Amino acid sequence: MTGAAWRCLLAAGIGLGACGGGDDDTTDAATASDATGAAGGGLFINEVMPSNAAACADSFGEFDDWIELYNAGAADLDLTGYYVTDDTALPMKAQLPAGVIVPAHGFKLLWADDQVQGVDHLAFKLDAQGEQFAISGPGGALIDSIAFGAATTDVAFARLPDGTGDFASCAVATCGAANGASCAAAAR
């Protein structure tokens, strides 16, 4: 898939209108594609924290930006060869290496820290002023995406319910667990 085709698909999926834009090309809240996750076997972007100061630490004790993936399927999902990006012009910006597994009906955190610290650390950071994140299959087919506006430090954008719901701001991040009550009041 070409970069232009991917951008058109992403723009349509996140509600920015047809290719070429619409009347409103910005967002002040998180929006996601209407993807069913079928292309990824039930894989969804489930929670995103673009400004992490004290909410969740990685295995090195660092508070990096992170993305939580959710596998709604009944079998573990191996993401070897899948692509992630924070730049729609580069849909295949970073390829996930061997060893990134999302357990059945489970969660996997990816740390967007631009550091070489293991298979679950990405070669870019998220922009707390707002941007997008997307995951594509090994062939480049878009699986899921989120576009978000300016983020409050230690407040996540999370789906309610997990995998299929709308994104809401969550004052208490769940970091690798089911999203719940901390998000319910903020859901629109």
Could you tell me if 112 and 122 are in contact, meaning their C-beta atoms sit under 8 angstroms apart?
Answer: yes
pTM of the model: 0.79
Structure tokens at 117: 């610290």
CATH architecture for the domain at 3-16+28-184:
Sandwich (2.60)
| Domain locations in the chain as residue ranges | 3-16+28-184
Least confident of 13-22, 121-130, 133-142: 13-22
In DSSP terms, 84 is beta-bridged to 94, 135
pLDDT tens digits, 31-55? 554 344 445 569 999 999 999 999 9
Could you tell me if 72 and 163 are in contact, meaning their C-beta atoms sit under 8 angstroms apart?
Answer: yes
Whole-angstrom CA distances from 8 to 12, 13, 33, 148 are 6, 8, 12, 17
pLDDT category at 30 given cuts 50, 70, 90 is low
